[in-house]
Amino acid sequence: MKKISILRNPIQNYAWGSMTFIPDLMGGPVPAEKPQAELWMGVHPKAPSKVLCDGEWMSLPEFIRTDPEGILGESVAKNFSNELPFLFKVLAATKPLSIQVHPNRDQAQEGFARENEMKIPLDAPNRNYKDQNHKPEMICALTPFWLLNGFREIDDLIALTERIGAPALRDQVRLLQGQHVAEGLKSFLTTLMTMDRGTQTELVSEVMHCIEQNSGTDAALEWVVRLNQEYPGDIGVLSPLFMNIVGLKPGQGMYTPSGRLHTYLEGAGIELMANSDNVLRGGLTAKNMELRELLKVLDFMHNQVDILMPVRRGKGEDIYQTPAKEFVLSLISVERGSPFGSSGTRSVEIMICLEGDAQISDLGNGNVLSLPRGTSLIVPAAVERYRIEGKATLCKAAVPL
């Protein structure tokens, strides 16, 4: 069991997904029959990966249970109760995801226990807490990638709404004035989200009319128009007015801690997070929304937009540094005649080949596996060292030691 092994991973067919990106990466028919939104690599009970062991497919959770310390590493097994602590994804969005926030660990544990007591099935559409874990996460752009992340500066928000000139929106923005930032944002967002649907629709309609009369161009106004085309009248279409709009170039990343309002708008990327599927939604969705629960877990402070750039760590590896204890993401690049060699001290690793073709060799037992584009694998911690050769770009998820 303590050898490098190929993974087979489930695909999530959400409506906002791409018909082309993941199928092309995996060598399937393009376009696909249904939108393919996320490729999951991990042990989450909703959709665990499988491992090829001696010619047969075994679930990744079962594979880890055969030897937690050998596969995860001694410290990871000890610190995370013999479980893989991260969920690794390829994400491809052609439409906006829901505006959402993830709970911290205490909130997740309380919410999970509460919904269990209420006997809400784990797969019920009104279930918010599907596990007891928090969900800090990061995205690394593979294509130009647009997202909303956290709240704008109050002055920017006020200036933007003044420029639009919608009287009803001005009335809402007054809630921000003369208050502490967090209290003002909470009052503002609570009022927007708890309006009756008719009032929300009228407000959106008024804002859209004023934007049409606005001669200038602005990314926030352009995204309001685009979101309204997808979700007409949804109060979430106004989110670019009060949230930070971020455009990532390929190779750039962004970290999102628990409690921060965010959504992905468009693009393909690698997503890495703590092993959780807890999502509280606040707009741009037909799924269940528990607004009072969302408002309870939301951090209402303005946050700085910090774009992550990878830092070189040894030959051929660039790492994205975040505060997360559950995961660390890196890109590995190899050229012919210039292989990548692993460190002797490492945790469990999952990799996927994004471009090119490579081979990975276990330097302890001499086993060699081919890594064509779209192939993913797990490297147990007990594998002492390995070498990657060829011409390829790979993305690696691991646990920081």
pLDDT digits (tens, 9 = 90+) for 258-288: 999 999 999 999 999 999 889 999 888 878 7
| Residue 281 falls in the annotated catalytic set | yes
CA atoms within 13 A on the CB side of 139: 30
* Maximum distance among all Cα pairs of the chain, rounded to whole angstroms: 72
Residue with the larger pLDDT of the pair 144 and 300: 144
pLDDT computed for residue 324 by the predictor: 96
Residue 186 backbone zone (phi > 0: left; psi -120 to 50: alpha; other: beta):
alpha
Cα distance between residue 62 and residue 84, in whole Å: 11
Q: How far apart are CA 108 and CA 104, in angstroms?
A: 6
8 A C-beta contact, residue 28 and residue 374: no
pLDDT, position 215: 58
CA-wise closest residue to 253 among 197, 331, 182: 331
Structure tokens at 35: 């939108």
What is the structure's pLDDT at 305? 85
Q: pLDDT tier at 227 (50, 70, 90 boundaries)? A: very high
User: Which residues on neighbouring strands pair with residue 330, listed in sequence order?
Assistant: 319, 396
Mean residue pLDDT across the chain: 93
Whether the pLDDT of residue 243 is over 80: the answer is yes
Higher pLDDT, 193 or 399: 399
Cα separation of 396 and 393, whole Å? 10
- pLDDT confidence of residue 58: 96
Question: What pLDDT shows up at residue 386?
Answer: 96
For residue 292, pLDDT over 90 is answered with no
- For 13-108, list the strands marked E by DSSP: 38-41, 50-53, 56-59, 86-93, 99-101
| Band of residue 401 on the pLDDT scale cut at 50, 70, 90 | confident
Q: What is the pLDDT of residues 113-162, one digit of tens each?
A: 999 999 999 888 889 898 888 999 999 999 999 999 999 988 888 888 88
Determine which one of 127, 260, 281, 346 is catalytic. Answer: 281
Q: Which of 113, 147, 151 is nearest to 132 (CA)?
A: 113
- Domain positions in the chain are 311-398
Alpha carbon of residue 334 to chain centroid: 26
| CATH entry, 311-398, from 2.160.20.10, 3.40.640.10, 2.60.120.10, 2.70.98.70 | 2.60.120.10
**Token output for 100:** 């959402």
Write the CB contacts of 320 (distance below 8 Å, at least 6 apart in sequence).
Answer: 138, 140, 253, 308, 310, 311, 328, 329, 330
Q: Give the integer Cα–Cα distance in Å for 207 and 72.
A: 52
pLDDT tops 90 at residue 332? yes
Give the residue-averaged pLDDT of 181-190: 86
Q: What's the whole-number mean pLDDT along residues 54-73? A: 96
Amino acid symbol at 169: L
DSSP symbol at 249: P
- Whole-number pLDDT of residue 162: 87
Which pLDDT score, from 0 to 100, does residue 350 have? 98
pLDDT of residue 223: 95
Q: How confident is the model at residue 344 (pLDDT cuts 50, 70, 90)?
A: confident
Place of tokens 């050998």: 70
